[in-house]
């Protein structure tokens, strides 16, 4: 596993770096909900990216925990854990990594670090949803021996974090 990959709870300084990483190295649709208007990183979309994280992770009562992913000392993406309201002890996980850093082992390292963070926060299960064509997520789940189950148009995998299981 790559040892130069680390997770850092998002703050305003890291959020500014995260926006730069997203603008340089990702498509808006990979890293934030859709925003009306012309394609690309328009000023409106950059503001929406900041508002999205400010409202969800940096608010007085955050709805999720977001981590900036650093690789070799640079912010290269984000990972998040969002409690699932209807399933006590379960968090939904999400990750994006800048295109130029994909396929180099960052995602595998992030998965292990994110599961550690989830366990430390008291979650007993972490679920990931993706599309059938996301081969990287499928490989990541296969790598830790977790099955992806079809759920409508999506594939969902839940990692059991209870002691003795993982």
Ligand X SMILES: CC(C)(COP(=O)(O)OP(=O)(O)OC[C@H]1O[C@@H](n2cnc3c(N)ncnc32)[C@H](O)[C@@H]1OP(=O)(O)O)[C@@H](O)C(=O)NCCC(=O)NCCS
Q: Interacting stretch for ligand X, rule CB under 6 A, among 7-15, 82-90, 100-108, 151-159?
A: 100-108
Reference 6, options 52, 51, 73; nearest CA is 73
CB of 92 to ligand X, least distance (A): 9
Q: Which of 104/113 has CB closer to ligand X? A: 104
N- to C-terminal Cα distance for the chain?
A: 17
SS3 content of the chain, % helix, strand, coil (to 5): 35, 30, 35
CB of 156 to ligand X, least distance (A): 10
Place of tokens 């926060």: 121
Q: Interacting stretch for ligand X, rule CB under 6 A, among 35-43, 46-54, 105-113, 151-159?
A: 105-113
Residues 33-92 that bind ligand X (CB under 6 A): none
Identify the DSSP state of 27: -
Q: Check binding of 102 to ligand X (CB under 6 A).
A: yes
């Amino acid at each position: 596993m790559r040892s130069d990959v680390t997770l850092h709870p998002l703050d305003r300084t890291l959020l500014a770096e995260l926006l730069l990483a997203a603008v340089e190295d990702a498509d808006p649709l990979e890293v934030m909900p859709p925003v009306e208007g012309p394609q690309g990183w328009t000023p409106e979309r950059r503001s929406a990216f900041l508002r999205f994280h400010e409202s969800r992770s940096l608010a007085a009562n955050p709805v999720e925990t977001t981590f900036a992913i650093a690789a070799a000392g640079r912010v290269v993406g984000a990972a998040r854990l969002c409690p699932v309201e209807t399933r006590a002890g379960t968090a939904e996980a999400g990750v994006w990594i800048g295109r130029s850093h994909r396929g180099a082992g960052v995602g595998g390292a992030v998965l292990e670090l994110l599961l550690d963070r989830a366990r430390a926060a008291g979650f007993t299960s972490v679920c990931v949803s993706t599309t059938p064509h996301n081969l990287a997520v499928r490989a990541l789940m296969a790598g830790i021996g977790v099955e992806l189950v079809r759920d409508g148009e999506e594939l969902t995998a839940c990692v059991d974090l209870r002691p003795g299981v993982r």
